Structure 1
């Protein structure tokens, strides 16, 4: 075990989930709710939720429950179409690519958010209160959405280009093999 792994294991907060659906925070020695776990997420706390009986890691299922609560109350982040598209990726050959794609894009959004926060903190902190900051972000949202649309379009174009290159490489690699229904290369060139 590396030093970093050992350190992160020591600082990881352990939450136990009991059969009665109650969550027990071993650090505070108290029962907590999903709202408390949401607060841990917002505070960037390092935690793990485990089944008290089996020791199975339940962190992902608890995080999904929090997302479900957020989606059913207030303003949802995902449209029904987006959720249906995500479901369609399960069991599909592109499932692993989709997970990585979503994770990387969320990281890009977080990096953009952090950078905007850093840049604006020094510039606007002295001049703006929380209300003015919220208004500024409302004005910036369309520009940010346009930037993300451009990013997504560039990603799509890059993916299509990569797919075309892979098809060409595959075609070149198997060009010498006589597959049924495929005319030999020399015959194609003469036509």
Structure 2
């Protein structure tokens, strides 16, 4: 399928309308689609927005959360109960704003590392792969080290930001540390 482009030559964002009967309508293909097909749009890196057909409210986040819920219920969940409970505890906490950014940056770093490994593995023969697996690879150690360093840096930034906010709050009440 050829992607549509807007006046600036950029790919146009696909609009999916959600009707009160919970059906999803893809305005690009003029057909009703399932949540599974929306998931495939995500997997294909398609840019889309889900809008309420009546109010035009953006429902994209709730549809993405629904997809995650179905994936989690579908057999091999990604999140343990402990992780989900921890995420819930961050809501309403001073760190809520930072946590989303921290998770997003870590997922991006992990994704970048996976992309690098995939690109490098295309030129690897089965014999080379066996040799790679039999010893600790400096490349893998370097990439994991980079991921670890990025994660550590993000955590340090988050802690510094939290400390600044605490000092500002204490200062607002006339208290000093």
* TM-score normalised by length of structure 1: 0.67
Match of 2:3 in 1: none
Give distance in 2, aligned partners of 1:51 and 1:31: 14
1:107 aligns with 2:108: yes
CA distance in 2, matches of 1:98, 1:161: 11
> Shift of the alpha carbon at 1:114?
1.0
Larger radius of gyration, structure 1 or 2? Answer: 1
Give structure 1 stretches of 5+ with no counterpart: 183-191
Cα distance, 1:117 vs. partner?
1.2
1:125-140 equivalence runs, <5 A: 127=125
Q: Normalized per residue, which structure has more helix?
A: 1
The alignment partner of 1:119 has SS state of helix
Q: Aligned partners of 2:108, 2:144: CA distance in 1, in Å?
A: 15
CA RMSD between the two structures: 3.7
Contact persistence 2:95–2:162 (CA under 8 A): no
CA spacing shift, 1:179–1:157, aligned 2, 3 Å: closer
CA distance, structure 2, for counterparts of residue 108 and residue 12 of structure 1: 26
| Structure 1 residues 93 and 39: alpha-carbon distance in aligned structure 2, compared to 1, 3 A threshold | same
Name the count of aligned residue pairs.
Answer: 156
Q: Distance in 2 between matches of 1:152 and 1:162?
A: 15
4+ runs of 1 displaced by more than 3 Å? 4-8, 146-167
Is 1:16 matched with 2:21? no
CA distance in 2, matches of 1:48, 1:66: 14
1:1-191 to 2 correspondences below 5 Å:
8=10, 11-121=12-122, 123-124=123-124, 127=125, 147=144, 150-151=148-149, 154-155=152-153, 158=156, 162=160
- Quote the Cα distance in structure 1 between the aligned partners of 2:66 and 2:76: 16
Unmatched segments (≥5 aa) in structure 2: 1-5
Q: C-alpha deviations, 1:2-52, integer Å up to 9, x for none? A: xx99655x6111000000000000001100000000000000001000000
